[in-house]
Chain A
Amino acid sequence: MAGSGTAHLQDDGDVVLRVEDLNVEFPIGQGRVVQAVSGISFDIRRGETVGLVGESGCGKSTTGRAVLQLPRPTSGTVTFDGVDLGTLSDEALRQTRVRMQMILQDPVSSLNPRRTIRQIVGEGLTIWGRQDGRDARIDEVLVSVGLDPAFVRDRRPHQFSGGQCQRICIARALALEPELLVCDEPVSSLDVSVQAQLLNLLRDMKAAYGLTVMFIAHDLAVVKNISDRVIVMYLGKICEVASADTLFETAAHPYTRALVDAIPNPDPRRSVPAVGLRGELPSPLSPPSGCRFRTRCPLATEVCAVEEPQLRAVGDGHFVACHHAGSVME
């Protein structure tokens, strides 16, 4: 992994979001910084769902926030619909944010407990001066996320389950008719049956509202289910980019392979795979030289310590940053 490079960027005019050489650093005192995201690039086409997957500490959530400029990244460009967000003034950025909405992992704490659902869903409309037909619009989005407006409108978040709160969060995001929806682990705190409902709902919403979705999650099966393309991240870098189906059938990166193998499978006849990855995630304070995955990689050789692998094409729309990608695919 854990490579840089821009070979996977697409050239057609349909790209709605383009991220180039994004770096996010957090100071941790005494002049030291953690590189949460190191020089990653990717793009999303209009109407596409791109999944960002990786384990904790891989920088996927930081990337999602950096795209929304929350906070602004340390360096790199984020181009949304042809506009470089880094060059916008705070006010211009605020005007643009209405077109990019976010859904977070914990739906209950994302909702102000003192407000009614009507206030929560309608607040954006009020702020942006869309008072005409405000109540009708609130009802419309509540219906579309599968809630009964008459029942829901005047209640407060604590009266709803986690799954229902997440539906309310989706309704709040959709009320402003955004173009880009960034979902950060939107279903990981939910029960399996509710998670399935929400995944189906997100798919329906995407079709109904013509959304472009950036879907961040740690669960590969969930990401595969919802995404058209998937980006696998490790320690602030991109390992592999491919269409969802390709990635899981012919994973080219040893890290992707290990992730796929680690998924617990509800089929007792399948033998439990031997433990794939040994060791621990290295400290992001002093990431390994060369390929950042090499300390845990079963295929690592000398070249991995010296030279950082660049993303390169190994198939149609399939890019991988690994010196030994070929041997994984066999």
Chain B
Amino acid sequence: MHRAQIDSAASPSPLLEVDDIRTDFTTDRGQLRAVDGVTLRVSAGETLGIVGESGSGKSVLMRTIMGLLPRHGVTVAGRAVFDGQDLLGPRRATRTLWGTEIAMVFQDPMTALNPTKRVGEHITESLRYHLRLGRRDAQREAISLLDQVGIPDASHRFDQYPHELSGGMRQRVTIAVAIACRPRLLIADEPTTALDVTVQQQILELLAQLQRERGMAMILVTHDLGVVAGRTDRVAVMYAGRIIETADTASTFENVRHPYTEGLLASIPRIEDPSQKTLDALSGRPPDLVALPAGCRFEPRCRYATEQCREVDPPLVTDEDGHAFACWHPRRPPFHIRATTGHS
């Protein structure tokens, strides 16, 4: 049903292939399908943005791929392959990929570092475990990594505890931990949501720079369309467990096809709009994943919905430009977001 191929333009054999992933949680109220048939590809060196609001399944999707789901009450179906190796097999078999080939940066740098371990140990641990470096070599490499992620006075910071660092510095540390073993894919799950905007800007810039230098692929998961706009090659928008629209970044923003993406963009207050402008807000809220509507999942909130939408779930289809969307009444291109009055 949701079989439309979301092919990467760049490379014939993608680094990460995710096919028809379904993640079910057993809850008191019944089975809850947090991710429902997601298919995506990430090529070497590419940046994919995954955008969605809470409950869209974006974080569960990443945790499914990373094998970080709770051990009980979860079932996963589908296929996830990294460079020919199955990611959904037994944990012990895939573990050698984590940290070395695929690494992750978490949302909240305040909790992602072990409060009882020194900053340096977080980095040397992977270096020593995965790369079998000796203590001195690992320490030298860790200090160099701290330096590369822009931490001043790295050899001093190496011996400090996480609570002695600011939020931005801690996020730099988690990034240093993630890139320590030169992964080919970095998954950043809301890496800047917990940070102030000026720090967010620094961290996003750092991620982009490291990606360029190291040729890493990156999946940038965020709720903020503004974060993916200038910094990703492609974008996938998730809603209620599914990808409902995906295209290259420029096309996603300029030729919005799905009413949800359109509504999301209209909901964001813009700095260039006049004060007191009434926002064109999406009404309602996402559906209850335990009691999904029969037809399109966005139908209850959609201003273009028809009888067809109520009854039949739209498949994800790809237009001639490679822009995929799941909607019976897609917005017609060219759809131009309003002209911007730049300030910088």
Asked if A and B form a direct contact in the complex, defined as CB atoms under 8 angstroms apart, the reply is yes
Chain B residues within an 8 Å CB radius of A199 = 269, 279, 281
Q: How far is the CB of B102 from chain A (nearest CB, A)?
A: 25
8 A Cβ contacts from B279-311 to A: 279-283, 285
Chain A residues within an 8 Å CB radius of B253 = 266-268
Asked if A222 is an interface residue, CB under 8 A from chain B, the answer is yes
Asked if A280 is an interface residue, CB under 8 A from chain B, the answer is yes
Select which of B168, B271, B283 is within 8 A of A220 by beta carbon. Answer: B271
Select which of B224, B250, B272, B281 is within 8 A of A193 by beta carbon. Answer: B281
Are B229 and A267 touching (Cβ within 8 A)? Answer: yes
Are A197 and B283 touching (Cβ within 8 A)? Answer: yes
CA distance A271 to B342 in the complex (A): 10
8 A Cβ contacts from B229-251 to A: 229-231, 249-250
CA distance A186 to B106 in the complex (A): 25
Are A263 and B343 touching (Cβ within 8 A)? Answer: no
Mark contacts of A180-213 with chain B using CB atoms, 8 A cut-off: 1 yes-contact digit, 0 otherwise: 0000000000011111110110010000000000
Are A191 and B276 touching (Cβ within 8 A)? Answer: no
Asked if A15 is an interface residue, CB under 8 A from chain B, the answer is no
Chain A residues within an 8 Å CB radius of B223 = 191-192
CA distance A301 to B199 in the complex (A): 24
Are A276 and B269 touching (Cβ within 8 A)? Answer: no
Of the four ranges (under 10, 10 to 19, 20 to 34, 35 or more), the interface on chain A belongs to 35 or more
Binds A, one of B112-120, B210-218, B260-268: B260-268
Asked if B141 is an interface residue, CB under 8 A from chain A, the answer is no
Chain B residues within an 8 Å CB radius of A163 = 285
Chain A residues within an 8 Å CB radius of B276 = 203, 225-226, 228, 244
Chain A residues within an 8 Å CB radius of B249 = 268
Chain B residues within an 8 Å CB radius of A276 = 198, 201
Chain B residues within an 8 Å CB radius of A258 = 198
Are A262 and B200 touching (Cβ within 8 A)? Answer: yes
Chain B residues within an 8 Å CB radius of A110 = none
Q: What 9 A-B pairs are tightest by C-beta distance, nearest first?
A: A264-B226, A196-B281, A244-B275, A196-B267, A272-B230, A55-B196, A225-B269, A193-B282, A191-B53
Chain A residues packing against B (C-beta within 8 Å): 55-56, 161, 163-164, 191-197, 199-200, 203, 218-222, 224-228, 243-245, 248-249, 258-278, 280-281
